[in-house]
Structure 1
Amino acid sequence: MRELAEHQSIAVEVRPERAGHAPHTVFVDDFDDRAAGTAARGIEPVRRDTYGNGVRKAPYRDPDGNEIGFGGAPL
Structure 2
Amino acid sequence: MRMLLTSVAMSLMLFAGIPVSDHATAVAWYERFFGRPASFQATDTESVWELAENRWVYVVENPHNAGHSMQTILVDDLDGIVAEITERGIRPEKRETYDNGARKAIYRDPDGNEIGYGYAPQSG
Instruction: Please give the TM-score of this superposition, normalised by the length of structure 2.
Output: 0.43
SS at structure 2 position matched to 1:36: helix
Q: Rg larger in 1 or in 2? A: 2
| Superposed structure 1 runs of 4+ greater than 6 Å apart | none
Give the aligned partner of residue 44 of structure 2. none
Match of 2:118 in 1: 71
User: Which residue does 2:109 correspond to in 1?
Assistant: 62
The residue aligned with 2:73 is 26
Partner of 2:94: helix, strand, or coil? coil
The structure with higher relative contact order (CA 8 Å, sep 6+) is 1
- Shift of residue 63 of structure 1? 2.5
1:46-72 per-residue CA deviation (whole Å, 9 max, x = no partner) reads: 111001111000010012111110001
Which TM-score applies when normalising by structure 1? 0.68
- Asked if 1:48 corresponds to 2:95, the answer is yes
State the Cα RMSD in Å.
2.6
Unaligned runs of 5+ in 2: 15-63
- Structure 1 gaps of 5+ residues are 11-18
Q: Aligned partners of 1:72, 1:66: CA distance in 2, in Å?
A: 20
State how far apart, in whole Å, the 2-side matches of 1:57 and 1:69 are. 7
- Name the structure 2 match of 1:15: none
* Amino acid of the structure 2 residue aligned with 1:68: I
| In structure 1, C-alpha distance between the alignment counterparts of 2:111 and 2:83, rounded to whole Å | 24
% same residue: 54
